[in-house]
Every structure is written in C-alpha cells, then in structure tokens.
Amino acid sequence: MIEQVFSFQSGDALLIIDVQVDFCPGGALPIAEGDQVVPVLNQWIDAASQAGIPVYLSRDWHPKHHPSFAEEGGPWPVHCLQDTPGAAFHPGLHKPPEAEIITKGTRFDQDQNSAFDQTGLAVHLRKAGIRRLIVGGLAEDVCVLATVLDARAEGFAVSVIAAGTRPVTPAGGASARQKMTTAGAELL
C-alpha cells in the first residue's frame, strides 16, 4: 500500500508521463517492460485519488509529419499518431475521469519531450497551489527525465517513482537517475 510508504501532503500532484500503447511491448516504439509500470502507477493513482491529490497525465500526440520521426530526419520511428490506437493511454491504466491531460509533441518544427515544454503547465500548477510533483511513466531517460529537470528548474519539489518508470536503454536509465538526483529530485 502506497499510504504505508508515502504520505501525500496538500500541494502534491501526481504527474504520469506518456503511459501510451505505442511505448509498451507490441507498440510502435516499445520500451522494454513498459507495460509493467501500469500496475505500479495504478496504486499511486488510486491512493492519490483517495487522498484528494490531483492527477495529471501527459501524452505524446504527434501529427503525421512530426520532426521526431525518422522519415523527417528525427531519431524515432513513427509513434503516437494523433487519434490512433497507439496514441491511446494504456487500457489498463486507472485514468481518473477528473484527471487533467497534458498534450505535447504537436508541433511541426520541434519535439517536446517535457510535459512543461510550451504547455503552460508550470503556470497552471502554481495557480493550483502545487509545490511537489510525484512523477512516473515512460520513458525514464527521455520524457520523464526532461519533465523532471524542467520541474526542478521551475522550482517544484520532485519525487520519482523508481518502480513506475522504465528507460529506453539501461545505460540511459542509469544516466537519467544520476541527472535527476543531481537536479535535486528524490527517487522513491
């Protein structure tokens, strides 16, 4: 039980990054064990909802000619195309009906790995009185890392759910954890 290992405080929010079909095994850009974050994050989502802590879910949401795609000169295969099944949240994720969705990766001129990148999220969170973010999701060494670093730069306290994230590569994961802790994030 999450409540036994972590106490939510007023000013906390749960921020779940890109737990989408395409990032899980069988998807277009599968991350090893990506689907294994779902039961872990569900425990956190359920506990947060019960404690009245707001839940935010980000999603990668690309147009057909997104610059991150290999055919456009980017590093990744086509993934998370808007309105396709691959862009949907993992069907097993306990998405609360009241959760706020952060859509990113819609620009034609650049990728947005961080949920803070040109989304206005920091402004919204401050307005909502949020001071600490508990973060999990995919991928640890790409969008989770970018989001955590931006959250720290924006002055939010950050706790990362270590069991609730997976990297694209193991080396990338190790490097990401180092960067996140160096930036002042706590690993749970």
Residues that bind Zn ion (CB under 5 A): 60, 105
Cα dihedral angle (91, 94, 97, 103), rounded to 10 degrees?
A: -60
> What minimum distance in Å lies between the beta carbon of 174 and Zn ion?
22
Rounded distance between C-alpha atoms, residue 182 and residue 177, angstroms: 8
> What minimum distance in Å lies between the beta carbon of 48 and Zn ion?
26
Indicate the residue among 12 and 18 with the shorter CB distance to Zn ion: 18
* One-letter identity of residue 69: F
Catalytic residue list contains 179: no
Question: Nearest residue to Zn ion, using CB?
Answer: 60
Indicate the residue among 60 and 150 with the shorter CB distance to Zn ion: 60
Indicate the residue among 42 and 165 with the shorter CB distance to Zn ion: 165
Helices and strands (H, E) in the chain, number of each type: 5, 6
Catalytic residue among 12, 104, 141, 150: 104
Nearest to 48, CA basis, from 186, 177, 180, 159: 159
Which residues are designated catalytic? 18, 104, 143
